[in-house]
Amino acid sequence: MNFNLKIWRQAEGSAAGKFVDYQAKEIPAEASFLEMLDIVNEGLIARNEEPVAFDSDCREGICGTCSLVINGVPHGPGKAKTTCQLYMRRFRDGDTIWVEPFRVLAFPIIKDLIVNRSALDQIVEAGGYISVRAGSAPEANGIAVSKRDADLSMEAAACIGCGACAAACPNSSAMLFTAAKISHLGLLPQGQVERSRRAVSMVRKMDELGFGNCSNQYECEAVCPAEISAGFIARLNRDYAGSAVKEAVLAE
């Protein structure tokens, strides 16, 4: 298969960037999108040209590092997959493919297709630790947790922190990410002690870092590799509102 690639090239965050045309030739249909970029880079290196900088790690859909916008969609066409799980058979021979980094104010570009997504780590850090002892595996029936809450908590915990939700949102909101991180602890007994403080701290850190507000357009849910429901955002809003009121009352 052969493709015409229009790839965003930018030497560094402070430099001007532009789309550059590249030809991807004789690409196996079973190659992943990242493997296709590897092949293109091998050709560039053979011609003593600067290879395209892009991020990857596990290449198994686990780490969320492969943050690319492909034809305007974070992680490319299809549902419930990361860029490394996107295969070239998804495209037609001869297609033109646009490749660019995640466009989020809080994700500054490092080089070409690589962005700094450490803002997501800062949101998690703002949530702090839980004070309940969790150092060893407890007896399975020692703490009663309903199956509904356990299932919801596991769904929220499936978030891999790739940032696609923010990249897809017209407001660059990280509400789905933040809601998942808050909910997976807030649904369990072990997370109740810090539940109120965690919601307020993490949302305020998200705002401080320059992420936008949610306007319920659900692009986040559509591109999430883990298919995390936007319903967690409603849960986050309830937690935040209740915690903010409680904080204001205690401050009087």
Domains of the chain are 3-111 (3.10.20.30), 117-251 (1.10.1060.10)
Residue 251 pLDDT > 80: no
| pTM (two decimals) | 0.91
Residue 166 pLDDT > 90: yes
Q: How far is CA 5 from each of CA 55, 158, 190, 198, 221, rounded to the nearest angstrom?
A: 17, 32, 49, 43, 27
**CA-angle at 87, arms to 85 and 88, nearest 5°:** 155
From CA 80, how far away is CA 228, in angstroms rounded? Answer: 9
Q: Which tens digits make up the pLDDT trace of 34-70?
A: 999 999 999 999 999 999 999 999 999 999 999 999 9
Mean pLDDT of 143-159: 93
From CA 125, how far away is CA 221, in angstroms rounded? Answer: 24
List, in sequence order, every residue forming a beta bridge with 116; answer none if it has no partner. Answer: none
Count Cβ atoms below 10 Å from residue 252 Cβ, excluding itself. Answer: 4
From CA 23, how far away is CA 6, in angstroms rounded? Answer: 9
Q: Which residues of 92-116 are buried (b: 16+ CB within 10 A; e: fewer)?
A: eeeeebebbbbebebbbbbbbbbbe
The continuous run of DSSP H or E covering 42 comes out as helix 33-46
Query: Strands across the sheet with 18-24, in order?
Result: 18-24, 3-9, 96-101, 68-70, 73-74
In degrees rounded to 5, what are phi and psi of residue 109?
-75, 135
Mean pLDDT of 190-196: 89
- Output the pLDDT for position 30: 97
How, if at all, do strands 68-70 and 18-24 pair?
unpaired
Pair of tokens at residue 198: 């965690």
Q: Which tens digits make up the pLDDT trace of 113-144?
A: 999 999 999 999 999 888 877 667 767 677 78
How, if at all, do strands 18-24 and 3-9 pair?
antiparallel
